[in-house]
Amino acid sequence: MLKEEKNLNKTTNQDTLSFKEIKPKIMYYGTPTLLLNTLNEDGTTNISPMSSSWALGDCIVLGIGLGGKAIENLERHKECVINLPSPNLWENVEKISSYTGKKDTPSYKQEIGFTYKKDKYESSELTPLESKTVLPTRIKECPIQMEALVKNIRIPEYNPLFAIVEAQVLHFHAEDRIIQNEIYIDPSKWSPLIYNFRHYFELGKEVGKTFRSET
């Protein structure tokens, strides 16, 4: 096929695409689900399912809604554990998705179906595991668990409904089977639970890797 014909076909295919501007009610476009463990006043651990986070270096940035137990705990005690569940744990995560550890549940949360539940471990059928240096416990069933120290909490002036929390990872725990060469996570053996527009997904097949990959 001549070069001109290839370019013509490419242009024609692009011309058939159609886009429409919308205002989506949610923008959870597909990020790993995490279970954030924070310390309650009585020394027990609260578990909060979340999906808003990103990582760079040893820093994890979390987006946490206000009015819940997680942010209340972090403002009082600046330690947490970031647990990453695998896809097979989605039902355990969902079992506590409508629970809040805040006894005086805000009315707006009640209206969308949240109810108070203190013991999230029992409700989720997950198992606590003692952390190395922080007080909140880790979740045994999660293949990756990161003990972290909160370095900064900021409520953006343009949207006072959530907090941006910066946490520095102190200890990174990983299940033996997913560790490669002592310092890497084997991406062929680890798959995060993906929260995709309020549906749970797992990863598909590998399609390639970046030039910076060392495995």
Provide the sign of the torsion angle of the four alpha carbons 26, 80, 48, 151, taken in this order. negative
Say yes or no to pLDDT of 90 above 90: yes
91 backbone dihedrals φ, ψ, rounded to 5°: -70, -35
Amino acid letter, residue 36: L
What's the pTM? 0.90
User: For residue 140, with 0-12 CB atoms within 10 Å meaning exposed, 13-18 middle and 19 or more buried, which class applies?
Assistant: middle
CATH of domain 29-202: 2.30.110.10
Say yes or no to pLDDT of 75 above 90: yes
Q: How confident is the model at residue 150 (pLDDT cuts 50, 70, 90)?
A: very high
Say yes or no to pLDDT of 5 above 70: no
The stretch 48-60 carries a mean pLDDT of: 97
3-state DSSP assignment of residue 130: coil
Which tokens sit at 193? 């639970």
Question: For 103-129, what is each residue's pLDDT tens digit?
Answer: 988 888 898 899 999 999 999 999 999
Domain ranges of the chain: 29-202
Is residue 165 within 8 Å of residue 152, measured between CB atoms? yes
Separation of CA 157 from chain center: 24
Is residue 138 within 8 Å of residue 130, measured between CB atoms? yes
Question: For 181-200, what is each residue's pLDDT tens digit?
Answer: 999 999 999 999 999 999 99
